[in-house]
């Protein structure tokens, strides 16, 4: 049994993680299940119907230019940071700026599309428990972040690529830490601030492209750092990790969860290359790091890598990917019917068709163990 597999199975059986999932499946070895009120308090869970309605309302009023910009933004996912020549040819000499513009156009719409389902946090989590839903697996993984970082009440933690602030809210409720979120998209930052303020949380949020360094924080500002599936958007990993090293305190821990290509992936294999071409736009990946490249960049910045593994059970996310894909394909049929009945504007057809493209390729790539979005690294800045 591989190390990743063994660790994945231990994640499934850990009583510190499975309180949500086990309450659902009523496993015998669990502590008493939390009440609904306690779980809601700990997760900062929104009422889904309100979230879905708000997303539909926002998407209904998109301008033609916003729709066009969203569709055009997909050009960056057919490129890769490792091929600067192709970047320049497609986007011009100022390609880094153009990537930033595309990301704002992309996420300004995508975050509302994802809010129509159980992935409003805009990530498919590691498969932490067989008995848990997609959202419950998100909560389990987020709790594992707080545990891995050893967060204590009142400590400060940096969330890179914070999205709509839902993870930050859960992190604050679960650990008592104060979260500072950073994101390139003003739309998401506005939602993050409102969401956290409405729940009486003191988390703060900053609009910043993390490819534009330095980060806007003083030295040794944070007791911990985490990011979820944001690093493929980073042009220069060693430079970013050097900045993170600067802004975290000695002894602080980092938690990374990200998209990587795995050793079985062969760029010279036509089937592999075609799957990569289809999956990168689906998950919004620009770069394609490997576990080794992430570890090397961390060590180059001065961090010590404490753990490097696939956080999913048996190293597979496919069961959760299939669940999300089925949901949005079903949603697509409903939306297409409503567009045909003129109950929704025509641009909904354009958006949902793009969102649902190539889910099967993602499942296949995961099952073939060519790539994953559930690769986890825990690292630490040495104590002074």
pLDDT tens digits, 219-256: 999 999 999 999 999 999 999 999 999 999 999 999 99
Q: Which tens digit of pLDDT belongs to each residue from 269-325?
A: 999 999 999 999 999 999 999 999 999 999 999 999 999 999 999 999 999 999 999
Q: Which domains does the chain have, with CATH numbers?
A: 3-380 (3.40.50.150)
Report pTM. Answer: 0.87
Whose structure tokens read 């914070």? 162
Residue 212 token pair: 């534009």
> Would you give the end-to-end CA distance of the chain in angstroms?
37
Q: What is the pLDDT of residues 7-41, one digit of tens each?
A: 333 344 344 444 544 444 443 333 333 333 334 44
Angle ∠(117,202,384) on CA atoms, nearest 5: 105
CA distance 156 to 10: 29
pLDDT at 120: 85
Query: DSSP for 23-68?
Result: HHHT-TTPPPPPPHHHHHHHHTPPPHHHHHHHHHHHHHT--HHHHH
User: Bridge-partner residues for 375, per DSSP?
Assistant: 258, 310
Q: How many CA atoms lie within 13 A of 303 on its CB side?
A: 31
Spatial distance between the Cα atoms of 179 and 142, rounded to a whole number of angstroms: 13
Strand order in the sheet with 204-207: 204-207, 178-183, 156-160, 222-228, 248-261, 371-380, 304-310
Q: What is the pLDDT of residues 179-226, one digit of tens each?
A: 999 999 999 999 999 999 999 999 999 999 999 999 999 999 999 999
How confident is the model over 157-171, as pLDDT tens digits?
Answer: 999 999 999 999 999
Q: What is the pLDDT of residue 368?
A: 98
368 to 196, 279, 281, 342, 378: CA distances (angstroms) = 39, 13, 19, 42, 25
- CB 275, CB 364: distance < 8 Å: yes
Tens digits of per-residue pLDDT, 36-75? 333 444 444 456 788 889 999 999 999 999 999 999 999 9
């Amino acid at each position: 049994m591989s190390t990743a597999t063994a660790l994945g199975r231990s994640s499934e059986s850990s009583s510190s993680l499975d309180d949500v999932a086990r309450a659902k499946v009523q496993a015998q070895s669990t502590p008493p299940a939390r009440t609904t009120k306690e779980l809601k308090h700990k997760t900062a869970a929104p009422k889904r119907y309100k979230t879905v309605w708000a997303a539909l309302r926002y998407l209904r009023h998109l301008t033609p230019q916003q729709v066009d910009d969203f569709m055009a933004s997909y050009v960056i996912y057919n490129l890769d940071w490792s091929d600067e020549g192709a970047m320049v040819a497609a986007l011009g000499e100022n390609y880094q700026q153009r990537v930033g513009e595309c990301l704002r156009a992309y996420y300004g719409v995508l975050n509302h599309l994802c809010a129509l389902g159980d992935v409003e946090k805009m990530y498919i989590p590691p498969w932490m428990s067989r008995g848990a839903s997609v959202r419950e697996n998100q909560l389990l993984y987020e709790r594992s972040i707080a545990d891995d970082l050893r967060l204590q009440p009142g400590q400060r933690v940096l969330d890179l690529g914070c999205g709509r602030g839902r993870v930050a809210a859960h992190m604050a409720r679960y650990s008592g830490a104060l979260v500072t979120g950073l994101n390139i998209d003003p739309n998401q930052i506005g939602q993050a601030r409102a969401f956290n303020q409405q729940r009486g949380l003191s988390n703060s949020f900053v609009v910043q492209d993390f490819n534009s360094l330095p980060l806007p924080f003083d030295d040794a500002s944070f007791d911990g750092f985490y990011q979820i599936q944001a690093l493929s958007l980073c042009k220069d990993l060693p430079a970013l990790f050097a900045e993170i090293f600067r802004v975290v305190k000695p002894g602080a821990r980092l938690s990374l969860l990200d998209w990587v290509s795995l050793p079985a992936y062969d760029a010279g294999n036509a089937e592999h290359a075609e799957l990569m071409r289809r999956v990168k736009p689906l998950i919004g990946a620009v770069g394609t790091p490997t576990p080794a490249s992430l570890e090397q960049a961390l060590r180059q910045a001065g961090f010590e890598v404490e753990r490097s593994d696939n956080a999913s059970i048996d190293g597979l996310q496919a069961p959760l990917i299939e669940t999300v894909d089925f949901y949005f394909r079903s949603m697509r049929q409903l939306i297409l019917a409503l567009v045909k009945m003129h109950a929704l504007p025509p641009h909904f057809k354009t958006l949902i068709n793009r969102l649902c493209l190539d889910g099967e390729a993602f499942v296949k790539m995961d099952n073939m163990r060519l790539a994953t979005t559930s690769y986890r690294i825990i690292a630490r800045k040495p104590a002074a």
